[in-house]
Amino acid sequence: MNDRSRAEEDLRVIRTLMERATTYRAISAPTALVGGTLSVMSAALIQLSGYPESSLGRVIRPHEFAFIWIDVLVLTVIANAFFVWREAKSSGRPFISSGMGLALRAIAPNLIVPALFTIWFLKVGFLGAVELELVVIWVVFYGLALLSTALFAPRSLAILGWAFLLTGVSVPVVANAVEGLPDDVPNVVMGLTFGLYHLIYAACVWSRKRDAGEQPVDE
Amino acid sequence: MDFDKLDKIIHEKWRLAIMALLASRRSWSFQELKAELKMSDGNLITHMRTLHKLGLISVTKEMRGRPQTSYALTAKGRASFRDHVAVLEQIVKQWKNK
């Protein structure tokens, strides 16, 4: 190996280490898998509940709709905390790493509007059949939250953020343009975004990891 | 410009990796460095001592439930690392121009 190749290799190692140290994936593949699976199951449950032969035998009410999705969020957050704790324990890193702190600080402002809108919806909003508005707020601000980590996140997470944001903003446009949309549109949008998008993301991250392997930095 | 101009202390494979990580963040705990580099305790401690003796890194020991040692680049360490990277870039540039 000549001096140039050695110098290039050293620079590559330095760049890889520094990039890896400053990259933080706010949504891991296992978390996306859990969130995506729970979302698909919840969307299916809500969708099927309206059939007379289903166990519920009636259409899910607006505040029940909101509570089901809040439950999905809570379960996914618990699963994520478990995955982070397990990873921290096995690697000897702190539970709240500097990357996680940075991500939480970036994400937090994006959660204010959806949190307030959800509280309003649960108090009075559910009376006005505004599930579609609620879903649009959740999807758009979730996309913005992911995009707020784009400076230090891998590209796949930014793509997921854009997918949520573009889907979220296109829903009201489509709803205005198309006459007589069915009542289950909010549920379909939730299943599509929080369900399908997360499952696709998890599959992509896992397949990339498998292709790349766990390449040590010193090679 | 060639490899003889490089600081031999920094240019060792593991020490260069340690310096690169320390340059990417304000500070790193011993456990974080160990996990990131997949090094043994003894190996990492030896390299950290070498870098500390030369004044390239600072060591902070504090109690966070249990004792925790964290490391950071000193001003001298940061400048040395910057110079080292500049020399490597110079070598690559030199060969490209040949």
Nearest Cα to Cα of residue A194 among A109, A104, A19, A75: A75
Measured between alpha carbons, how far is B19 from A90 in angstroms, rounded to an integer?
Answer: 24
Span A99-125, average pLDDT: 92
Q: Residue A63 in contact with residue A126, Cβ under 8 Å?
A: yes
Q: Does A61 or A67 have the greater pLDDT score? A: A67
Q: What are the beta bridge partners of residue B59? A: B71
3-state secondary structure A93-161: CCCCCHHHHHHHHHHCHHHHHHHHHHHHHHHCHHHHCCHHHHHHHHHHHHHHHHHCCCCCCCHHHHHHH
Contact B32 A94 (CB under 8 A): yes
Residues 6+ apart with CB under 8 A from A95: A84, A85, A88
Domain residue extents for chain A: 27-211
Span A100-125, average pLDDT: 92
User: Could you tell me the domains of chain B?
Assistant: 3-97 (1.10.10.10)
**Which pLDDT band holds residue A215 (cuts at 50, 70, 90)?**
very low
pLDDT higher than 50, residue A217: no
Longest dimension (CA), chain A: 76
Q: Does A42 or B8 have the greater pLDDT score? A: A42
Best of B24, B44, B78 to mutate (most A CBs within 10 Å, chain A)? B24
**pLDDT tens sequence across A155-171:** 999 999 999 999 999 99
Residues of B in contact with A17 (CB under 8 A): 17, 20-21, 24, 36
Measured between alpha carbons, how far is A158 from A156 in angstroms, rounded to an integer?
Answer: 5
> How large is the ipTM?
0.78
For the ranges A45-59, A110-124, A194-208, which has the lowest average pLDDT?
A: A45-59
By three-state DSSP, how is residue A190 classified? Answer: helix
**Backbone region of residue B25 per phi and psi (left: phi > 0; alpha: psi in -120 to 50; beta: other values):** beta
**pLDDT tens sequence across A71-80:** 999 999 999 9
Best of B3, B39, B69, B92 to mutate (most A CBs within 10 Å, chain A)? B92
Nearest CA in chain B to A218: B13
Mean pLDDT of the residues in chain A: 86
- Looking at residue A216, what is its pLDDT? 38
**pLDDT tens sequence across B60-98:** 988 766 788 889 999 999 999 999 998 888 888 877 766
Element (H, E) at B64: strand B57-64
Please identify which residue in the block is written with the tokens 């397990």: A86
Nearest CA in chain A to B64: A94
Q: Record the tokens describing residue A118, joined without a space.
A: 């959800």
Question: How large is the angle between the packed helices A3-22 and B30-37, nearest 10 degrees?
Answer: 130
Nearest Cα to Cα of residue A95 among B54, B12, B65: B65
Measured between alpha carbons, how far is A137 from A49 in angstroms, rounded to an integer?
Answer: 24
Residues of B in contact with A2 (CB under 8 A): 95
Measure in Å the smallest separation between the Cα of B6 and chain A Cα atoms. 10
pLDDT higher than 90, residue A49: no
Residues of B in contact with A87 (CB under 8 A): none
**pLDDT tens sequence across B32-65:** 888 888 889 999 999 999 999 999 999 998 876 6
Burial class of residue A22, CB neighbours in 10 A (0-12, 13-18, 19+): middle
Contact B35 A93 (CB under 8 A): yes
End-to-end CA distance of chain B: 13
Q: What are the beta bridge partners of residue B64? A: B66
Report the residue from A17, A91, A218 with minimal CB separation from B35.
Answer: A91
Measured between alpha carbons, how far is A138 from A147 in angstroms, rounded to an integer?
Answer: 14
Contact A11 B88 (CB under 8 A): yes
Q: What are the beta bridge partners of residue B63? A: B67
A215: which DSSP letter?
A: -
Span A26-47, average pLDDT: 93
Residues of A in contact with B34 (CB under 8 A): 92
pLDDT higher than 60, residue A100: yes
